[in-house]
Structure 1
């Protein structure tokens, strides 16, 4: 009986071993259900996070409306190097002073897509535009630096256009939302690029954003006629229940950032350190004309300004037409 019981046990142990060894028929390719695989890959595929976009931004709203109606007009690059891309949606603004003609370099098109890009950030990147439309929080800084590096790799000779509508490291009410190093990080990335950098303010450039505006290539810094620029001292972030010694450390760091900001603004605006420091004692607002006088920008984009100025009468003709006679000096 003992030997008879061993035989079924040996057979039962051999059956799993035989099933584990793949046969020649099992090596044949199976028929794959492609619809099931595609549905599984679609559900398992992670969504690519979109960069932060301000939905109330007027420039992006205008660009989105044009892109939805006729995207082919935005995909064509301008033939004239003096015209900044995508600004024709603002009724074709022109330069107040026509800059010198610059020979355009050969463009490398092998990295560019053949079809229209799917979203606004890709559309702007196709036009070599880096748009800063939010405060300089870490997510915005990360995106801007990545775009600058990508555009330099794409073509190290073509200019890069930075459009600015940002309140810097503060919000509209003045509350600090990020460290000053966020603006310095973008500034350092701009200084390391080989490309020309054209900066343009389409809304407001406040604080660190004003530094980025002034850090563009000399002669290639622009403002729209109703844009604003403002420089101010860095602010101490909320200290909460921090001890006094830690608050003192933070205050010293803010003073260091203020001195650095004064030095950089003096370097790019051509003013002295005393002039910039005195202007920064309180919030110093500048319209387009005042920003040009202060050295933050070089030119103002103004639609039809040449025609308007040609029709303006001289002071003598205006006095004569108004019936005003100049009194002789005593």
Structure 2
């Protein structure tokens, strides 16, 4: 068998593990004798691979270029045989989306408001303090920049510039700032009350596009006069100045509510003398909203008697209101 095989060494290529170690590559030449039937298997070479094809061609024609590599060469192994070496045939294409989550996300979102913002939803779920005002106005401006023709949906569950216990936490200008930003937008603004819309938040609810102001069936709306901040050890003259400013803000709030609800300023001013709570039905009657978001609510609410009619039919005598 040894006599029938001629195994001349064509070239040897250093292995990837160590440059000094060589692995022989053999060519098999079988004689025409019928007794020669054994062949040494050779690893297949992909003809579509330009690097391996070029390497095989150099190994067959001038193996010394592979065997006699200079020591301390800074070039990567076997790349110096190319005139213009390229690591990739074409550069990688990176897909860039216009906005976050345009395609299926491959990692968790930065935060939940970002996902809501992608759906053009601005959620006001905290009292109107400077940080909330800054975020809401920025989101409104961003949505107009993205598309000035698509509507913006403002979901409101906010106690305005006060907490639920009535303590003031923000200035009335916080609500007026969001209101002015809403009025400057070119987009339609759909407002939805999903919990409570109290004070300045009720103004934002009523300031939506006419016909696009909604309320959940069990949400509450309430309008009230602005509150004087705590005076503490403030001088009497400063207390008077702040009281005048609160009265000015109250008059502005009355004018804006009258404008968006369709009521007279006298009517709004009268009901605002004390906190005026409204359920979804009363809010619709008062002009704060246009529709209650409840499946089948039109027929159900039409069949429900008002509290006064229910008391009358039940024979309950109504005492003078407090």
TM-score for the superposition, normalised by structure 2: 0.61
- The Cα shift of 1:305 comes to 2.7
- SS in structure 1 of the partner of residue 285 of structure 2: helix
- The Cα shift of 1:123 comes to 1.1
2:99 matched residue in structure 1: 111
**Larger helix share, 1 or 2:** 1
Residues 231 and 308 of structure 1, relative CA distance in 2, 3 Å threshold? closer
Measure, in 2, the Cα distance between the counterparts of 1:236 and 1:293: 30
Where do 5+ consecutive residues of structure 1 fail to align? 1-27, 29-108, 315-330
- SS in structure 1 of the partner of residue 205 of structure 2: helix
Rg larger for: 2
Counting only pairs closer than 5 Å after superposition, residues 14-163 of structure 1 correspond to structure 2 as: 110-113=98-101, 114-116=103-105, 117-163=109-155
Question: Is it true that 1:276 corresponds to 2:281 in the alignment?
Answer: no
2:281 matched residue in structure 1: 289
1:229 matched residue in structure 2: 221
CA deviation vs aligned residue, 1:133-156 (integer Å, no higher than 9, x gap): 000000000000000000000110
- SS in structure 2 of the partner of residue 225 of structure 1: coil
- The Cα shift of 1:111 comes to 3.3
Tell me if the contact between 2:156 and 2:196 (Cα under 8 Å) persists in the aligned partners. Answer: yes
CA deviation vs aligned residue, 1:23-61 (integer Å, no higher than 9, x gap): xxxxx9xxxxxxxxxxxxxxxxxxxxxxxxxxxxxxxxx
Measure, in 1, the Cα distance between the counterparts of 2:249 and 2:304: 48
2:170 matched residue in structure 1: 178
Measure, in 2, the Cα distance between the counterparts of 1:165 and 1:110: 30
Measure, in 2, the Cα distance between the counterparts of 1:243 and 1:141: 30
- The Cα shift of 1:307 comes to 6.5
2:193 matched residue in structure 1: 201
Measure, in 2, the Cα distance between the counterparts of 1:128 and 1:254: 34
Where do 5+ consecutive residues of structure 2 fail to align? 1-73, 75-96, 306-322
Measure, in 1, the Cα distance between the counterparts of 2:242 and 2:163: 20
CA deviation vs aligned residue, 1:141-187 (integer Å, no higher than 9, x gap): 00000000000001100000000000000001100000000000000
1:168 matched residue in structure 2: 160
Measure, in 1, the Cα distance between the counterparts of 2:183 and 2:299: 37
Question: Is it true that 1:258 corresponds to 2:250 in the alignment?
Answer: yes
- Superposition CA RMSD, Å: 2.1
Tell me if the contact between 2:99 and 2:118 (Cα under 8 Å) persists in the aligned partners. Answer: no
TM-score for the superposition, normalised by structure 1: 0.60
Measure, in 2, the Cα distance between the counterparts of 1:172 and 1:208: 13
Aligned length, in residue pairs: 207
1:267 matched residue in structure 2: 259
Tell me if the contact between 2:257 and 2:268 (Cα under 8 Å) persists in the aligned partners. Answer: yes
Residues 306 and 230 of structure 1, relative CA distance in 2, 3 Å threshold? closer
Measure, in 1, the Cα distance between the counterparts of 2:301 and 2:115: 36
- The Cα shift of 1:303 comes to 2.5
Name segments (4+ residues, structure 1) moved above 4 Å.
306-310
- SS in structure 2 of the partner of residue 174 of structure 1: coil
Q: 1 or 2 for the larger relative contact order (CA 8 Å, sep ≥6)? A: 1
Measure, in 2, the Cα distance between the counterparts of 1:173 and 1:140: 19
